[in-house]
Structure 1
């Protein structure tokens, strides 16, 4: 192999590593979660770290409303058929900017909050407390389940021109990976990570 080909391959690999590092800096990551049994129900407390690209931050400042969707589902494996979905819960959080007051506004399930900076607003969007995700009557205490959790930017709620832009621009596809963990209804009253 000639020296030029080796240099070209090396430069390509360096460019890919730089690109993957910059691409992974933005997005959503699950920092912590906790499932807590209260009476017969299970409540979720979770913290997500959300980092938006400069283009998304600029769009919010110019009046585009972002909707973040948090999903929790509980499945039970069955050897004879598809997995049984025991619980599927979704929650939407709305992030907008009010230019008159120069504040960000966060709204979710009757809860509203105002923040002065985008980082405070994203911290509020990523904080979930006391969300009822499992009704105890849905569970068979003798069975093992798999719980899954994730958050993403709901592109279907964007205005149509931005939906088209989102299809062509990776910066607009903001999502966490699915976090999957075993869940036993008979375990202690608290499951943490």
Structure 2
């Protein structure tokens, strides 16, 4: 038997079926999740391996820049991206010992007169035709030596703390004052050494 529903009075809101309310909530959550993942660093791969007694690190990241970061780049503001790895030895009796720490900092800048992207690492520079090409060398690194073999003792357990981020401390001082949450770009991971 069907339940009899009383007629709605003029000016009263109609009842929305429960399924439609759930669907609306689900769509709102999906939109929010898409907006949250629109920018950031997605670490697709991170691996630490022993090679010739040394520790080497490989990583692959997918960078999604926010519109304000891309706009700053297109206006000629150089941005700095830093990858850092620290090797620690486990100790049960005290804080873990840091054995080694290395970092790499890339400078990415757009040259408006030549319409080219310049990526610098230390004293070396490379020129690219598009932003995606310019971001490729800093988002994919393999064979990065992070610890010498003489610092690693056999039979000990080690782990690596890795981070990759946009270094906002190297922005021009006027830009550092008004940095919003869309400029927070980074990822951190910890990996055990086998």
Q: State TM-score, norm by structure 2.
A: 0.80
CA RMSD of aligned residues (A): 2.4
**Residue aligning to 1:90:** 103
Deviation at 1:158, TM superposition (A): 0.6
Equivalent runs, 1:50-65 vs 2, <5 Å:
50-65=63-78
Q: For structure 1, list consecutive stretches of 5 or more residues without a partner in the other structure.
A: 185-193
**Residue aligning to 1:44:** 57
Name the CA distance, whole Å, in 1 between partners of 2:145 and 2:122: 12
**Residue aligning to 2:192:** 182
Equivalent runs, 1:71-110 vs 2, <5 Å:
71-110=84-123
SS in 1 for 2:154: coil
Residues 14-37 of structure 1 show CA distances to partners (whole Å, capped at 9, x for unaligned) of 545422321212111222234444
Deviation at 1:111, TM superposition (A): 3.2
Name the CA distance, whole Å, in 1 between partners of 2:55 and 2:192: 14
Q: For structure 2, list consecutive stretches of 5 or more residues without a partner in the other structure.
A: 1-14
Deviation at 1:139, TM superposition (A): 1.0
Equivalent runs, 1:1-193 vs 2, <5 Å:
15=28, 17-166=30-179, 169-176=180-187, 178-184=188-194
The count of residues paired between Structure 1 and Structure 2 equals 178
Name the CA distance, whole Å, in 2 between partners of 1:101 and 1:163: 27
